[in-house]
Chain A
């Protein structure tokens, strides 16, 4: 008769003990541990992301004949040269026009930014929709609070900066709040992320829209929500999303508010731009 085998309880005891110690530890100790652990873990995240890039590169490379690559390359170089020249010309024109209009309207100077392109290393699984990890960090000059954009849309802002990576609080995070403006009205409204519903695209809310807002979009058109630029952190005119349904008055009649469907680029992010303010202003976000 075989003797019954008992599971060794010691690891469980250690685990329980460890959990109790962790639970009892003061907040700052836990934060210190988390940060230290993160810095150790970061190279792994980076390596994993880079390996993924190499894998994609070789998969494409192996599946394409060599002479095609040469032809593509030549064509792309031509297009690139052409576009760069056009871009420079347009940018110069735009800058001149902007300056002229701002002088005429006596607009106070807006913050200027230097942009850094950053690849998305991964989405933070702890807060699935709300955080991204980017392959840029303190060493690249990233600061807490810096806006993160893709194309002409808002992605979020830098919430934590590590040596070579940074974490981005996404625009859908309920703790993300910025000054916005809505189609047809120049005045300040407020955009804030909304609590997440599983299996539903991320949403936010626009609030504090003045109660005499009267804009009605044309047939089939939608009301867009943009950054207003008045908040001092984000530049103006970046798309946040589209108002879902109708804007409705709050029960006290003081404001209009509505739900905002965030722009679709947010669901498939590979590369984003971090905007580093050239003259950083005061902020309580740090």
Chain B
């Protein structure tokens, strides 16, 4: 009995120990459960949700782009693709896999009697890849019969799409791309609605005017379903927004695009991409099976097309300019800009050679244009020496400095000597006695050398800066950076070459040569500003009807007395007049093929010929505005000569292009009923007086 009692006494402490141990374990469990359930609940819930869900983003069709009159420049067309609903084909794929295994085993047993026919793991994995390809190929064969195509399945793409753990398993796979209208009709009429194949339409950019304005419009390319190019959906449901809070890695696992979107690369497409053209993508939130196939759509919203954009371009003028460039200068870099003088809106921004935006995704085509430099909007991005087209600025600077007045006469020989160096006239025949109007008419270099030395580099450079020739403009699309726009000064030269400024540099600068460089857009803008007797023109590629009565260009008046301003205008009119005006071809005068008189439309112009490539090639510039009495359009043309083209000249080569654009403008916009001239009433316009008066 004692023993029994003793043994009864000894049991409890072990029991308590064991009980205590179990209790502690249990406590740990409870605490852990409490942590999971109460503290970490949110995180786990989210993780569980996203584990079994996929967020599919449907890129939105981009907004349309129109010209100022509402002509469609860039639109969209639907590309109808046949997609196979892989989730609905799972059973068929499994049956096919079973069939393949059975056949293979039977074949092995037949080949080697006594063999059990068991498949190796590697072979079984291969069959797993073959089965879905076979099933989809059977469906593709049926579609081929209906639509009359001979498509074959891209087996690699199918295997990639359906790879285990691949997020793309959750979305249908495309088996036929871009059906024609007739094929779509046959598919829709002959394939049952509840078939595992259906049509998914994506939107593709179309260009009704082909290559017209390609440099301005820019282009898009497929983003290949890239998640980085996926905009956030700000207005979606909270369970959708959860996905955007995921880590980069988790996003890659649980988010995908329904099909590749279009990524804006250049031009208007890129500049007005976000918030305007891009639109709001749609989305579909799906639950997926553990094997990754889609199970059920939980929520979703269709995509919303981007907003439409109305550009300031006039497609008719644009085409005229491009056709003129292509006909006269095939294979040359050449550009035209035309501005609405009052509003600063761009009417034409043409570059040759132009490219086909629908082909730019082809690597070889893209590289060819990139390498040659013709992929850029050269009119706004390439800065070059302006040559004599800069001379109006030299004249304004000299007039404002009081160095000359309109009647000042300079004796202009065949060259002008500074130190021991001769600075030559562009014409072998000297111009003799030259005043301001004649300087602008015949573009006398020697006149400019003389007045520039009297004016001084500081005042000349300041005048060029006042017209904004070294600053990016208000243009909304890509343009030359400030670092490429150069107005040389003594400091600039010292920094760049370590040498001091010479008087010869001032002389070169006065005729737009040397290291001065700016773009065609800047020079055209300068000419539009001169036409309005102001220093700046606020350029825009967007059409705003509210601007039709004019706008604040954020410049200042040129600040010349009316007679001096009038002398500049008279000089520019003389430049566009026969018989000696260097820019007479603009107005249709001279022995140039294909030009025509402008029938009552008065024009002012300035030509320029600059030497580049160590004087082996010329740049031909021409600037013009019209009508002189009430300026409405300003045009700039630049033809870039190739090495050896030393005979290129502004009046000879660029003038006829400006003439073509002005003819078209006259046809469309010019009315002979013109309002009273805008020049100050105190100095009525007197027209050009040939020759000059001595005083």
Contact = CB atoms under 8 A, between A and B. Distances in A.
Contact of A233 (B181, B189, B303): B189
A146 interface: no
B183 to A, nearest CB: 9
Given A175-B193, A285-B190, A254 B78 contact: yes
Interface class of chain B by DSSP? mixed
Interface centre among A175, A187, A251 (most CB of B within 10 A): A251
A187 B185 CA distance: 10
A208 B184 contact: yes
Interface in B119-151: 142, 145-146
Contacts of B302: 250-252
B201 interface: yes
Interface string A200-212: 0000000010111
Interface residues of B, number: 30
A211 B76 CA distance: 9
Interface in A167-200: 174-179, 187-188, 190, 192
A228 interface: yes
Nearest to A232: B186
B192 A285 contact: yes
A175 B78 CA distance: 23
Contacts of A212: 72, 75
Contacts of A233: 189-190
B305 A230 contact: no
A113 interface: no
A115 to B, nearest CB: 19
Contact of A252 (B60, B184, B189, B195): B60
B29 interface: no
Nearest to B80: A208
B190 A282 contact: yes
A53 B565 CA distance: 101
A167 B30 CA distance: 65
A106 to B, nearest CB: 14
A253 B182 contact: no
A18 interface: no
A174 B192 CA distance: 11
B489 to A, nearest CB: 53
A251 B305 contact: yes
Nearest to B197: A284
Contacts of B182: 188, 230
A188 B279 CA distance: 26
A175 B185 contact: no
Contacts of A228: 185
Nearest to A250: B302
A5 interface: no
Contacts of A177: 188-189, 193
A141 to B, nearest CB: 20
Interface in B50-101: 60-61, 72, 75-76, 78
A282 B78 CA distance: 26
A284 B142 contact: yes
A253 B305 contact: yes
B508 interface: no
B13 to A, nearest CB: 61
A255 B78 contact: yes
Contact of B303 (A174, A190, A252): A252
Contacts of A179: 184-186, 188-189
A254 B76 contact: yes
A187 B181 contact: yes
Contact of B192 (A231, A255, A284): A284
B190 A232 contact: yes
Interface string B255-296: 000000000000000000000000100100000000000000
B203 interface: yes
Interface string A272-286: 000000000011110
A283 B76 contact: no
Nearest to A254: B78
B276 to A, nearest CB: 14
B186 A231 contact: yes
Contacts of B76: 211, 253-254
B189 A178 contact: yes
Contacts of B184: 179, 188, 190, 208
A178 B188 contact: yes
A226 interface: no
A234 interface: yes
A57 B192 CA distance: 41
B191 interface: yes
Nearest to A157: B189
A252 B282 CA distance: 9
B621 to A, nearest CB: 41
Nearest to A229: B185
A231 B183 CA distance: 8
Contact of A251 (B191, B194, B303): B303
Interface centre among A187, A192, A212 (most CB of B within 10 A): A212
A190 B193 CA distance: 12
A233 B193 CA distance: 15
A25 B577 CA distance: 98
Nearest to A227: B189
B190 A254 contact: no
Interface centre among B181, B191, B201, B203 (most CB of A within 10 A): B181
Given A174-B193, A175-B194, A282-B190, A231 B185 contact: yes
B304 interface: yes
A178 B189 CA distance: 4
Contacts of B146: 232, 282-284
Contacts of B188: 177-179, 190, 208, 231
Contacts of A231: 185-186, 188-190
Contacts of A211: 76
A35 B69 CA distance: 64
Interface in B171-221: 181-182, 184-186, 188-195, 201, 203
A283 B190 contact: yes
Nearest to A253: B305
A254 B75 contact: no
Contacts of A208: 78, 184, 188, 201
A177 B189 CA distance: 6
B185 A230 contact: yes
A252 B186 contact: no
Contacts of B145: 282
Contacts of B142: 284
21 contacts: A175-B192, A175-B194, A177-B189, A188-B181, A188-B184, A208-B184, A208-B201, A211-B76, A232-B146, A232-B190, A250-B302, A251-B304, A252-B60, A252-B305, A253-B61, A254-B61, A254-B305, A282-B145, A282-B146, A285-B190, A285-B191
Q: Which 8 A-B pairs have the closest CB atoms?
A: A231-B189, A253-B305, A179-B185, A230-B185, A282-B145, A175-B193, A283-B190, A231-B185
Given A177-B193, A178-B189, A231-B190, 4 more contacts: A179-B189, A188-B182, A208-B201, A284-B190
